[in-house]
C-alpha cells in the first residue's frame, strides 16, 4: 500500500502552544499495520441467547424446548405443541476491563507502563423468536439473535514532571462491535423419541473504532524533547451466512441426548473504511525544532475475511417430572492462517439445571467455560481470554383462560429474569511507544504492539425476557 510522503509541519507553533505537554492526539498502531482486520476487543460471547438458555447457562442442546432452540439446536422446536413468541434483552450489563501495563513508553531511563481500565454500561437486545406451528409435530421459527457484542471506552493518561526525564502519555479509544444473525429454523418430530432440525442465518457484523494517542519525552538539562501522535478511524462491515443442524434423541424415559453441528461462518462480503493522521517531531540544541506529518485519506477496501470454523456440540440431560440436569460441550477445529488470521482449536463446557418449584414458578442455574481460540494477542485491542461464568434465573408462568369463541382457548404469559456473572482471564496486546533516544532526530520513532500482558474482563448482566404461548 502506498504511503503519503511526509510533509514538514511547524513544530514551533505546536511547542509555543504547549501541545507537546497536553497534545490531544491519537494513535492506534494495530490498525495502521493491518488495515481491514476484524479484532476481538475482549468480553467473550455469552452462551445465553433466549430465555431458556439464560436460566441454565446455555446447557439446552439435549432437552431444550423453548425459542432458544432456534439457535442452539433446531431439533428442540419439534417438541412444541403450541405457537410461541419470545423476546429477551441484556437489560443492564456492566463490563469492566483491566490490562496491566497496557500503555508503555520507552525513554532513556527505561520503560514506563500504565494500566488500562475501562467500564461500560450496555443495554441491548439478545434474541427475538417467533415459533409457528406449521404442521403436526413440525414448527418453524423466525428469529433474530445478537450473539456477540462489545463496547470499549478507554481514556488512560500518565505523566511525570520535574525530574531529569519528564514524560506524558495518553490514549483514548472508542470501539463498538455488533453481530446480528437473522433467519428461519425448522424442527420436526418424526418419532416420539426423535426430533430433527435445521436452521439458516444471514449474518451481519459491524465494528467501528476511533483512536487517539500521544507521547512526549523531555530532558530539560540537555534541551532535547520528542513527541509522537496519531489519529485513526476505521469501520468494518461484514456479511455472511451460517447453518445449523441437530437432533434430540430420548432413548429412555429420563435420558435425553442432543447433537448440533454449526457450519463454518461463511463471509462473502467485507468492506473497510479507514483514515489516519500521524506526526512526530521535537527539539534539539543543534537543529532546533523539527517535525513530520503523514496523512492517509479515507481508503475503502473489500478484503476477504476468513471463514470461521465448524462447531460441534454434544450434550446429555437427565430429566424427571419436576426438573432436569444437563451437561454439554463444544469443540471447534483450528483454522490455518498464522498468528493474524489463524485460530487454535477451542472447546467449551456448560452445566445447567432447572427445577419446577410450582406449576407457575421454575428456578434455573448454570455454569460455563469457554477456551480462547486466539493464536496470539499481538495487536492492541486484541485479547486471548479464557472465560468462566455462572447464571441464576427464574421463570414465572401466568396462564389466561379465554372464551369458548376464541381461536386459542388459553394463553400463557411467561416472564424470565436471569443474572449472569463472567470473568475472562488471559492476555492482551499492549501499546508500546519507543522514545528511548530523545536527541537523535534521524532515529525512527517506533510505535508498535509489545509482548502480550495480563488482562481481565468482568461482566455482570441482568437479563429480562418475556414470552407468549398460544
Rounded CA gap, 220 and 211, in Å?
30
Distance (Å, whole) CA 42 – CA 385: 7
d(CA 446, CA 433): 6
Looking at residue 67, the DSSP 8-state letter turns out to be T
Q: 112 by DSSP, 3-state: which? A: strand
Per-residue model confidence (pLDDT) at position 18: 36
Residue pair 64/80 in contact by the 8 Å Cβ criterion = no
Instruction: Compute the distance between CA of residue 259 and CA of residue 246 in angstroms, rounded to an integer.
Output: 5
Q: Which DSSP category does 470 fall into?
A: -
Looking at residue 9, its pLDDT comes to: 34
Determine the Cα–Cα distance for residues 332 and 414; give it in Å rounded to an integer.
34
DSSP 268-336: EEEEEEEEEEEEEEEEETTTEEEEEEEEEEEEEE-PPPPPBPPEEEEEEEEEETTEEEEEEEEEE--B-
15 Cβ partners below 8 Å, 6+ apart? 283, 289
All cell numbers assigned to 344 = 487454535
pLDDT of residue 208: 94
Q: Provide the Cα torsion 264, 265, 267, 270; round to 10°.
A: -140
118-138 pLDDT, tens digit per residue, is: 999 988 889 999 999 999 899
Which pLDDT does position 10 carry in this prediction? 37
3-state secondary structure 261-275: EECCEEEEEEEEEEE
Residue for grid cell 479515507: 298
Block residue for cell numbers 477445529: 333
Predicted local confidence at residue 374, as pLDDT: 84
Sequence-distant (6+) residues with CB within 8 A of 144 are 125, 127, 128, 129, 180, 181, 182
Which residues are 293's β-sheet partners? 7, 279
Q: Are strands 383-401 and 361-370 parallel, antiparallel or unpaired?
A: antiparallel
Burial 243-267, CB ≥16 within 10 A → b, else e: ebbbbbbbeeeeebbbbbebbbbeb
Name the CATH superfamily housing domain 11-469: Outer membrane protein transport protein (OMPP1/FadL/TodX) (2.40.160.60)
**Below-70 pLDDT ranges, the chain:** 1-45, 47, 299-303, 337-341, 403-409, 442-447
For residue 244, what is the DSSP state?
E
Say if residues 372 and 400 touch (Cβ distance below 8 Å): no
Q: Give the number of other CB atoms < 10 A from CB of residue 82.
A: 14
Q: What is the DSSP letter of 13?
A: H
Spatial distance between the Cα atoms of 141 and 143, rounded to a whole number of angstroms: 6
pLDDT value of residue 70: 96
User: What are the sequence ranges of the domains in the chain?
Assistant: 11-469
pLDDT at 36: 42
Cross-strand partners of 237 = 206, 271
Specify which residues 428 forms β-bridges with: 383, 453
Strands 84-107, 431-434: pairing is: parallel
Instruction: State in Å, rounded, how far the first CA of the chain is from the last one.
Output: 59
By the 10 Å C-beta count (0-12 exposed, 13-18 middle, 19+ buried), 103 is classed as buried
What's the pLDDT at 43?
53
Query: Residue 293: what pLDDT?
Result: 83
39 within 8 A of 379, measured Cβ to Cβ: yes
pTM: 0.85
Amino acid at each position: 500500500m502506498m504511503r503519503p510522503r511526509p510533509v514538514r509541519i511547524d513544530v514551533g507553533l505546536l511547542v509555543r502552544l504547549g501541545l507537546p505537554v497536553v497534545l490531544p492526539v491519537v494513535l492506534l498502531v494495530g490498525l495502521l499495520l493491518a488495515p481491514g482486520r476484524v479484532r476481538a476487543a475482549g468480553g467473550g460471547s455469552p452462551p445465553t441467547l433466549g430465555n431458556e438458555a439464560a436460566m441454565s447457562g446455555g446447557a439446552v442442546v439435549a432437552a431444550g424446548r423453548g425459542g432458544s432452540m432456534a439457535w442452539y439446536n433446531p431439533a428442540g422446536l419439534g417438541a412444541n405443541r403450541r405457537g410461541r413468541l419470545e423476546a429477551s434483552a441484556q437489560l443492564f450489563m456492566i463490563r469492566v476491563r483491566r490490562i496491566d501495563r497496557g500503555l508503555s513508553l520507552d525513554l532513556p531511563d527505561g520503560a514506563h507502563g500504565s494500566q488500562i481500565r475501562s467500564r461500560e454500561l450496555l443495554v441491548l437486545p439478545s434474541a427475538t423468536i417467533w415459533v409457528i406451528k406449521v404442521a403436526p409435530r413440525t414448527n418453524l421459527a423466525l428469529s433474530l439473535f445478537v450473539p456477540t457484542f462489545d463496547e470499549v471506552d478507554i481514556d488512560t493518561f500518565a505523566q511525570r514532571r520535574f525530574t531529569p526525564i519528564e514524560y506524558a502519555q495518553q490514549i483514548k479509544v472508542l470501539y463498538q462491535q455488533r453481530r446480528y444473525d437473522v433467519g428461519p429454523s425448522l424442527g420436526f418430530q418424526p418419532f416420539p423419541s426423535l426430533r430433527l432440525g435445521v436452521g439458516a442465518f444471514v449474518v451481519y457484523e459491524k465494528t467501528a473504532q476511533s483512536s487517539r494517542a500521544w507521547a512526549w519525552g523531555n530532558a530539560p538539562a540537555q534541551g532535547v524533547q520528542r513527541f509522537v501522535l496519531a489519529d485513526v478511524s476505521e469501520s468494518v462491515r461484514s456479511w455472511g451466512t451460517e447453518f445449523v443442524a441437530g437432533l434430540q434423541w430420548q432413548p429412555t424415559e429420563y435420558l435425553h441426548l442432543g447433537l448440533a453441528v454449526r457450519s463454518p461462518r461463511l463471509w462473502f462480503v467485507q468492506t473497510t473504511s479507514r483514515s489516519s493522521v500521524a506526526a512526530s517531531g521535537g527539539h534539539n540544541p543543534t537543529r532546533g525544532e523539527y517535525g513530520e506529518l503523514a496523512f492517509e485519506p479515507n481508503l475503502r477496501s473489500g478484503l476477504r475475511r476468513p471463514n470461521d470454523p465448524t462447531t460441534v456440540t454434544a450434550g446429555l440431560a437427565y430429566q424427571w417430572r419436576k426438573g432436569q440436569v444437563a451437561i454439554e460441550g463444544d469443540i471447534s477445529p483450528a483454522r490455518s492462517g498464522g498468528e493474524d488470521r489463524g485460530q487454535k482449536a477451542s472447546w467449551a463446557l456448560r452445566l445447567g439445571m432447572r427445577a419446577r418449584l410450582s406449576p407457575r414458578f421454575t428456578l434455573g442455574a448454570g455454569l460455563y467455560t469457554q477456551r480462547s481460540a486466539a493464536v496470539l494477542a499481538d495487536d492492541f485491542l486484541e485479547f486471548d481470554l479464557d472465560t468462566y461464568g455462572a447464571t441464576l434465573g427464574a421463570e414465572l408462568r401466568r396462564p389466561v383462560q379465554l372464551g369458548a369463541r376464541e381461536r386459542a382457548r388459553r394463553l400463557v404469559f411467561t416472564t424470565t429474569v436471569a443474572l449472569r456473572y463472567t470473568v475472562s482471564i488471559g492476555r492482551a496486546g499492549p501499546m508500546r511507544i519507543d522514545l528511548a533516544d530523545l536527541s537523535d532526530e534521524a532515529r525512527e520513532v517506533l510505535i508498535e504492539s509489545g509482548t502480550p500482558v495480563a488482562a481481565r474482563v468482568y461482566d455482570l448482566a441482568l437479563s429480562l425476557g418475556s414470552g407468549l404461548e398460544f
